[in-house]
């Protein structure tokens, strides 16, 4: 693993890249600490999650994956070890992951990332098994029979298949992920680039669109430009990010319903969108002049929504699709919900990687 630059470099560069704490305090009404350093923010979130019970639910697996990629980006092997310790009951067979639903099988991203970092083949066996199980039965269009055509599926299936590809190098997994996202974009993406939660739930729910952004980001990070779906998926991504930028709130956050500024600022979708924006800027998918201000304002705002306990605040609880705007507007918001913990870690990881690779 390559040597990471000291934190003083990140703090110095952050002073240039993001708005100052004084400016942020003038904008934020959350009352939270306004430290923008992504390493400090990520470490605070990790310290929170390792004090809580480990489990198999998708939002927890997404958080553990976030902790692992954050560990890799910062060179903090102790976090990787903590994630291994949490996985031990599964490794010893005392607990077993569930399977047979997209929200169950995505559990595999946790052991697959541990395998990628440690080389322990016991992790590979579980993660690869879940990725293969997902495609034991397929539809005529080549998608897994588990497809529900909820926008959430884009991440649940796409990320698992991408992780299996990263762990094995076998193109079948990458092809599955790319095709899956292509079909979902064709079916669910609207003319403005955003996604309805489901065909019969015609609302631009924040986290639902966050799952789409994160899925497209994960695939584009590894999809060769020569791949038959690369051009289309990049266009889908760019179209979406352009519209999302136009809906960013004055405080830097995005909202529970993206196109309803009266709905509450929501941390999980903000983190997921920033993961896409920062990765897009980092890898040249998005124009720096156009999107750098979006990232500056967004990251400073999201950081202010992580409290001293390491909890992401204003996180919408789990939400089923429903043909009712009131359903989305009335969803409770909580602090420390794993959906938000995952999203903050993804965004912090992208920020750390961007800053490291752009040392002036």
The 10s digit of each residue's pLDDT in 279-308 is 999 999 999 999 999 999 999 999 999 999
Domains 23-34+203-346 and 54-188 in one fold: yes
Least confident of 7-16, 35-44, 342-351: 7-16
DSSP string covering 128-171, please? HHHHHHHTSSB-TTS-BTT---BTTHHHHHHHHHHHHHHHH--H
Do residues 360 and 288 touch, judged by C-beta distance below 8 A?
no
Do residues 244 and 258 touch, judged by C-beta distance below 8 A?
yes
The CATH number of the structural domain formed by 23-34+203-346 is: 1.50.10.10
Provide the mean pLDDT of the chain: 91
Domain boundaries of the chain, sorted by first residue: 23-34+203-346, 54-188
- Whether pLDDT at 12 is above 90: no
Confidence of residue 22 (pLDDT cuts 50, 70, 90): very low
Confidence of residue 359 (pLDDT cuts 50, 70, 90): low
Tell which CATH classification among 3.40.50.10800, 1.20.1260.10, 1.50.10.10, 2.60.120.380 matches the domain 54-188.
1.50.10.10
- What element of type H or E holds 289? helix 288-304
pLDDT tens-digit profile of 40-99? 999 999 999 999 999 999 999 999 999 999 999 999 999 999 999 999 999 999 999 999
- Whether pLDDT at 188 is above 60: yes
Question: Distance between CA 331 and CA 105 in Å, rounded?
Answer: 26
């Amino acid at each position: 693993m390559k040597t990471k630059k000291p934190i003083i470099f990140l703090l110095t560069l952050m002073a240039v890249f993001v708005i100052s704490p004084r400016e942020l305090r003038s904008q934020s009404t959350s009352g939270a600490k306004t430290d923008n350093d992504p390493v400090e923010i990520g470490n605070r979130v990790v310290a929170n999650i390792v004090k809580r019970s480990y489990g198999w639910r998708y939002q927890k697996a997404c958080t553990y994956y976030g902790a692992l990629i954050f560990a890799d980006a910062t060179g903090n092997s102790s976090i990787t070890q903590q994630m291994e310790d949490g996985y031990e009951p599964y490794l010893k067979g005392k607990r077993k992951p569930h399977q047979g639903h997209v929200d169950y099988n995505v559990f595999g991203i946790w052991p697959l990332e541990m395998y990628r970092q440690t080389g322990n083949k016991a992790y590979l066996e579980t993660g690869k098994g879940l990725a293969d199980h997902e495609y034991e039965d397929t539809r005529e269009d080549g998608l897994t029979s588990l497809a529900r055509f909820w926008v959430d599926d884009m991440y649940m299936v796409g990320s698992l298949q991408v992780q299996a590809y990263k762990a094995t190098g076998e193109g079948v997994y990458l092809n599955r992920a790319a095709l899956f996202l292509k079909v979902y974009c064709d079916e669910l993406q609207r003319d403005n680039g955003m996604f309805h939660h489901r065909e019969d739930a015609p609302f631009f729910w924040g986290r639902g669109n966050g799952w789409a952004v994160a899925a497209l980001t994960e695939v584009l990070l590894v999809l060769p430009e020569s791949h038959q779906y690369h051009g289309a998926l990049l266009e889908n991504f760019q179209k979406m990010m352009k519209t999302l930028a136009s809906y960013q709130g004055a405080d830097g956050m995005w909202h529970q319903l993206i196109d309803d500024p009266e709905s509450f600022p929501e941390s999980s979708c903000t983190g997921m969108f920033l993961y896409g924006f920062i990765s897009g800027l980092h890898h040249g998918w998005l124009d720096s002049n156009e999107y750098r201000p979006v990232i500056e304002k967004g990251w400073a705002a999201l950081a202010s929504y992580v409290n001293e306990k390491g909890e992401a605040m204003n996180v919408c609880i789990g939400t089923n699709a429903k043909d009712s705007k009131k359903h989305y507007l009335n969803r409770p918001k909580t602090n420390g919900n794993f959906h938000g913990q995952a999203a903050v870690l993804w965004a912090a990881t992208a920020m750390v990687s961007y800053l490291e690779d752009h040392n002036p």
